């Protein structure tokens, strides 16, 4: 198990743990990875074309270094071989390694192979350097982007009510867990709005005429870690007020059921082990924006709000200069 906090932070956390609200404990759960972890030297920057695009744990690094033509280790960082000079060559080489590791069944996350690719880049607006299967991005700590739609109604008796979905038990990750009404990763070739409309149709059968009321509400960002890897995530968030008589219906087989809950019941469900941890930020953000969670009712309101908006744009993008042989792409000694 990896140390998630420095010793000083752990001591402070132990002393005030009894004073934390449930909501703050939850926020520290979905945002459990802290950059102070770099000090324990169990994480190494992943560098592509001289730019840091990710972070690799030591338990994963040992498998990657079995492929020196693709991955190289130097000066406490992991290089994608500089001889792979373009998007296509990098993508093909990394994919071949991942498929080989998948066939060996040595990394559990690759059991959830998607045949769905995510772009690898330092930040959202920078150059796409390669693509890799979605299931593998957590092995490299690659920033993932997704879209979430909060479907809600204002009931005359219950007040603010929110639709949740229960994920299919056949899903590769978080099977059978409760989740936001609509959500999906930003795959290669799809824009944010294209993803929103596609997922709304596939997951909840929301017609285009209702989607015209879709309201962009910014984003949430967090850095989560579990036994499978590292998950720096930015979710682009939308609200959609639905008619009281609308009932979502799944089309793609990835949702087991939907349920309409009051705001309080939805919040209570996030504290359950039956709720997808990395979807909690979206629901909490929704409840803050709609005035259900307020600074006068939540004693740790400022810290919770901050933990919904980790500055992932500043995590990667550092230029790494390494002595490299341009002829064969091999790294030199330092």
CATH number at residue 256: 3.90.79.10
What is the domain range of residue 253? 144-313
What is 31-66 written as a DSSP string?
T---GGGGGGT-EEEEEETTEEEEEEEHHHHHHHTT
If one counts the domains in the chain, the total is 1
Give residue 316's pLDDT band: very low, low, confident or very high (50, 70, 90).
Answer: confident
Q: Is the pLDDT of residue 23 over 90?
A: yes
Answer whether residue 178 is part of any domain.
yes
pLDDT at residue 13 greater than cutoff 50: no
Give 33's pLDDT tier (boundaries 50, 70, 90). confident
CA atoms within 13 A of residue 326's CA, in its CB half-sphere = 0
For the chain, the residue count is: 334
Please answer whether residues 168 and 257 qualify as being in contact, where contact means their C-beta atoms are separated by less than 8 angstroms: no
- Higher model confidence: residue 190 or residue 326? 190
Tell me the per-residue pLDDT of 61-105, one tens digit each, with 9 for 90 and over: 999 999 999 999 998 899 999 999 999 999 999 999 999 999 999
Per-residue pLDDT, 75: 82
Distance CA 237, CA 147 (A): 6
pLDDT of residue 329 exceeding 70, the answer is no
Establish if 59 belongs to a structural domain: no
C-alpha span between 85 and 63 (Å, rounded): 23
Question: Rounded to an integer, what distance in angstroms lies between the CA atom of residue 79 and that of residue 51?
Answer: 9
Which H or E element spans position 160? strand 159-167
Give the pLDDT confidence of 115-130 residue by residue, as tens digits.
Answer: 999 999 988 989 999 9
pLDDT at 12 over 50: no
Q: Give residue 232's pLDDT band: very low, low, confident or very high (50, 70, 90).
A: very high
Which pLDDT value is given to residue 36? 53
**How much is the pLDDT for 318?**
81
In a domain, residue 116? The reply is no
What is the model's pLDDT at position 72? Answer: 96
Q: Confirm whether 325 is domain-assigned.
A: no
Q: With 60 as the cut, is the pLDDT of residue 173 above it?
A: yes
Judge whether 10 and 45 are in contact, CB under 8 Å.
no
Rounded to the nearest integer, the mean pLDDT of the chain is 89
In angstroms, the CA 116 to CA 134 distance is 6
Rounded to whole angstroms, what are the CA distances from 261 to 195, 254, 269?
Answer: 25, 20, 9
Task: Tell whether 87 is covered by a domain.
Answer: no
Mean pLDDT of 260-277: 96
pLDDT of residue 328: 44
The number of angstroms, rounded, from the C-alpha of 129 to the middle of its chain's C-alpha atoms is 19
Residues 6+ apart with CB under 8 A from 131: 87, 91, 117, 118, 119, 120, 188
* pLDDT 10s digits, 188-227: 999 999 999 999 999 999 999 999 999 999 999 999 999 9
Identify whether 256 is part of a domain.
Answer: yes
List the alpha helices (DSSP H) in the chain: 7-16, 22-30, 58-64, 87-104, 192-204, 208-211, 263-270, 280-289, 301-307
Closest CA to 38 of 141, 119, 132: 141
Q: What was the pLDDT predicted at 257?
A: 97
Distance CA 153, CA 242 (A): 6
> Within 13 Å and on the Cβ side, how many CA atoms surround 94?
29
Q: Region 148-167: what's the mean pLDDT?
A: 96
Please report whether residue 56 resides in a domain: no
Residue 7 lies in a domain: no
Predicted confidence (pLDDT) at residue 14 exceeds the cutoff of 50? no
């Amino acid at each position: 198990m990896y140390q998630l906090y420095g010793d000083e932070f752990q001591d402070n956390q132990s002393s005030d743990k009894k004073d934390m609200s449930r909501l703050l404990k939850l926020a520290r759960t979905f945002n459990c990875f802290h950059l102070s972890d770099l000090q324990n030297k169990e994480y190494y920057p992943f560098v592509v074309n001289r730019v840091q695009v990710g972070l690799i744990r030591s338990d994963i690094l040992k498998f990657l270094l079995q492929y020196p033509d693709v991955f190289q280790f130097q000066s406490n960082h992991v290089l994608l071989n500089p001889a792979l000079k373009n998007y296509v060559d990098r993508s093909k080489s990394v994919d071949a390694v991942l498929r080989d590791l998948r066939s060996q069944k040595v990394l559990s996350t690759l059991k959830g192979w998607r045949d769905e690719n995510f772009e690898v880049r330092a930040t959202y607006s920078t150059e796409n350097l390669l693509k890799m299967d979605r299931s593998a991005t957590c092995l490299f700590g690659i920033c993932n982007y997704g879209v979430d739609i909060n479907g809600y109604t204002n009931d005359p008796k219950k007040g603010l009510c929110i639709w949740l979905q229960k994920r299919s038990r056949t899903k590769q990750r978080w099977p059978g867990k409760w989740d936001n009404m609509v959500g999906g990763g930003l795959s290669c070739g799809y824009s944010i709005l294209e993803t929103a409309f596609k997922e709304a149709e596939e997951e909840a059968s929301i017609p285009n005429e209702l989607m015209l009321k879709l309201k962009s509400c910014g984003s949430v960002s967090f850095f989560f870690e579990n036994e499978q890897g590292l998950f720096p995530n930015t979710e682009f968030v939308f609200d959609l007020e639905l008619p009281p008589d609308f009932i979502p219906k799944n089309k793609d087989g990835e949702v087991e059921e939907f349920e309409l809950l009051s705001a309080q019941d939805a919040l209570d469900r996030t504290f359950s082990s039956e709720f997808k941890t990395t979807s909690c930020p979206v629901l909490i953000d929704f409840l803050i924006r709609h005035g259900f969670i307020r600074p006068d009712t939540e004693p740790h309101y400022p810290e919770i709000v901050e933990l919904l908006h980790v500055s992932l744009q500043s995590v990667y993008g550092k230029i790494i200069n390494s002595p490299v042989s341009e002829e064969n792409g091999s790294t030199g000694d330092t």
